Amino acid sequence: MSTDIPLPSHTWPTLERGWVWLCGAGPGDPGLLTLHAVNALRQADVVIYDALVQEQILSWAPLAEHIYAGKRGGKPSAKQRDISLRLVDLARAGKRVLRLKGGDPFVFGRGGEEAQTLVQHNIPIRIIPGISAGIGGLAYAGIPVTHRDVNQSVTFVTGHDQSGNTPSSLDWASISKGSQVIVIYMGMKHIAQIAEQLITAGRSLHEPVAVVTTATTEDQQVLETTLGTIVEDIAAAALAPPAIICIGQSVLMRQVLDWQGMAAGNAPRNLDPLGRGRPAESA
What is the pLDDT averaged over residues 199-216? Answer: 97
pLDDT of 219-264, one tens digit each? 999 999 999 999 999 999 999 999 999 999 999 999 999 999 999 9
CA atoms within 13 A on the CB side of 68: 9
Alpha carbon distance 10, 158 (integer Å) = 37
pLDDT band at residue 133 under the 50/70/90 scheme = very high
Query: Does pLDDT of 77 surpass 90?
Result: no
The predicted pLDDT at position 282 comes to 77
Alpha carbon distance 281, 283 (integer Å) = 6
Q: Using an 8 Å Cβ cutoff, are 209 and 245 in contact?
A: yes
The predicted pLDDT at position 76 comes to 62
**Active site residues per annotation:** 50, 71, 186
The predicted pLDDT at position 283 comes to 63
Alpha-carbon 188 to chain mean position: 14
Query: Does pLDDT of 90 surpass 90?
Result: yes
Please indicate, yes or no, whether the overall pTM of this predicted structure exceeds 0.85. yes
Share of the chain above pLDDT 70, in %: 93
pLDDT band at residue 281 under the 50/70/90 scheme = confident
